Amino acid sequence: MSEVVLVTRLRTLNKGNQALSVAWVDMTRRAFPDAPLRVLERRPRHLLQYTLRQVASERDPVAAFDRIAEQLARSAPGAQFRLSPPATTKIMLDEQIQPAVRFVALRQRLNLRGQLARLGRYAAEYQARLAAYQRAQLVILNPAGEFYPREPAAAFYHLLDAHVAQKLGRPVAIMNHTMDITDPTLRKIIPAVYRTLKLVGFRDDKSVRAFEAMGGDPKNVLVTPDLALTCDVLPAQAHRAKTVGVAINVPEATAGRYLDGWRRALRELQAAGFTVVLVSNEVPADQPFYDELQQGLGVRAEGAGLDHDRYGALLGSFDVVVTSRMHTGVLAMIGGAPVVPVEGSSFKITGLFQELGVPGAPVILPKGGGWPTQVAKAAAEASAHREQVVREMSGRIAGVRDRIVADLVPRLRGAAA
C-alpha cells in the first residue's frame, strides 16, 4: 500500500481540464515526493451499467447505492493483480474527441456503453483499477466541474467510484470541486458518502453552503481556490492593443437561451473599437456557434490545438479577455491579461473571484437585456487600466498559490496517514 492514486482526466478535449490535471499531478507529487503515483482516468466505463435513474427508483436510494458499491468492491482481485493500469502521468489534449452536446437524453436512455458494461466488455480494465485501489495509501479524486445541475450523471459515477474505494478500506479524498447539485437523489447520496471521506475539498464557500443545505457535515471540508491557479503557462505573446479574446461557453448559453445576447455583446465590443478574436478551452463544444459568428460578424477564432500552457500564452497577448469559461479566465490571468468574467449556469466563476478576494461584484450575469452593454463597458475599463489590473491580479494569484500549497499539502498527508 505504497502508491498514491490520482483519479483525473488523462485524455481530454478541454484545455482547462488538462491544466487542472497537470496541477493535480504536480500537487500530489509535492505532497508525496517518495510515493509512486498512479494516475487513472475518471468515470470508469464498467460503472456505466448502473444509472442514477435506477438508484432513484428504489425506496431507499442511499441503501441501493451502497449495495452497488459493496457488490463492486467484492469483485476486487487483490493488490497483486498483474494487469495494472499503465503508469503514465502525461495529460493529453485531444480536440478530436467529440463532445456529447446533441441527443443527450436519447443517448442516456439507450445507454449503449452501459449494455456493453453489463456484458463484461470493460471488466478487465476495471479489475486493474480495483487492484490499484487496493494498493493505494490514498485515493484522490478530481471531479473538476462535474458536480453541476445540467448533467447529474457525471457526479453519480464519481460518487460510485469513490465509494467503491472506500468499501475497499482505502482513505479517499474528493477534491477541489464546485458543489451545485439540484438532483434530489444525489442530494441524499452526497451527504452520506462525504461523511465517511477522509477529506472533501471545495473551490469556494458557496459550495460549502450548498453542501450544508443538502444536509452535509463540513467537519472534513477544506476550501481552496481552483487548483489550475497553480499551473504555469508560457510567456505571453506580443501584446495586441485593442484586441479582445472572447470565450463563450456555448452549451451553457444554449441551455440558458442567451446565445443572441453573446451576438449583441460581440457587436458592442466591435462598436467600442475592439478587434474580437474567439477563443475556447473546449473547442469542439463551441466551434459550431463560432463558425456562425465568424461568418456573420467577421470575427476570427484562434487557439485550436494549443496545449494549456501555449493557450495561456495566447490569452496573455490580448488587451482583455472576456469569458464565460472559468478555466479560460484562470489561464488568462496567469498569462497576464485582464479578465471580464461572465457567469454560466452555475456559480463557479463568481466563487472563483470571491476566493481571489476581488472586491465588489465583478462577475456579469447574462440576464436581462443590458448585460451585453455591461460586457463592452467592463472591457473598455479594463483596457484603459490594463497595467494596474494585471499587476493587482498577479499579486492575488501569487498569494492564492501560497495559500493552496500551505492548506492542501498537510491535509492530503493527514488523509493518507
Structure confidence by residue, pLDDT tens digits, 243-268: 999 999 999 999 999 999 999 999 99
Quick: pLDDT tens for 366-380.
998 999 999 999 999
Are both 72 and 47 inside the same structural domain?
yes
- Please, is 290 exposed, middle or buried when counting C-beta atoms within 10 Å of its C-beta (0-12, 13-18, 19+)? buried
Q: Is the pTM of the predicted complex or chain greater than 0.75? A: yes
The answer to whether residue 36 is domain-embedded is yes
Give the per-residue pLDDT at 79: 84
Verify that 218 and 295 share a domain, yes or no. no
Q: 247 and 179, same structural domain?
A: no
Antiparallel, parallel or unpaired: β 3-8 and 136-141: parallel
- Residue 2's pLDDT is 84
* Rounded CA separation 261/251 (Å): 14
What residues make up the domain containing 21?
3-230+400-416
Q: Has residue 394 been placed in a domain?
A: no
Tell me, yes or no, whether 190 and 68 share the same domain: yes
Is 162 a residue whose pLDDT tops 90?
Answer: yes
Same domain, 225 and 287: no
Q: Is the pLDDT of residue 104 over 90?
A: no
The Cα 29–Cα 408 span in angstroms is 12
Residues in the chain: 417
Same-domain status, 184 and 248? no
pLDDT at 115 over 90: no
Same domain for 164 and 35: yes
The verdict on residue 155 lying in a domain is yes
**For 101-171, where are the E strands, in sequence order?**
136-141
Which CATH number goes with the domain that contains 192? 3.40.50
What are the φ/ψ torsions at residue 247 (nearest 5 degrees)?
A: -115, 120
Total structural domains in the chain? Answer: 2
Residue 322 lies in a domain: yes
Is the distance from CB of 159 to CB of 25 less than 8 angstroms?
no
Residue 225 has a CB neighbour count (10 Å cut-off) of: 26
User: What is the rounded distance in angstroms from the CA atom of residue 295 to the CA atom of residue 74?
Assistant: 56
Average pLDDT, the chain: 93
**What is the arithmetic mean of pLDDT over 21-32?**
97
Residue whose C-alpha cell is 476495471: 126
Residues 208 and 260 placed together within one structural domain of the fold: no
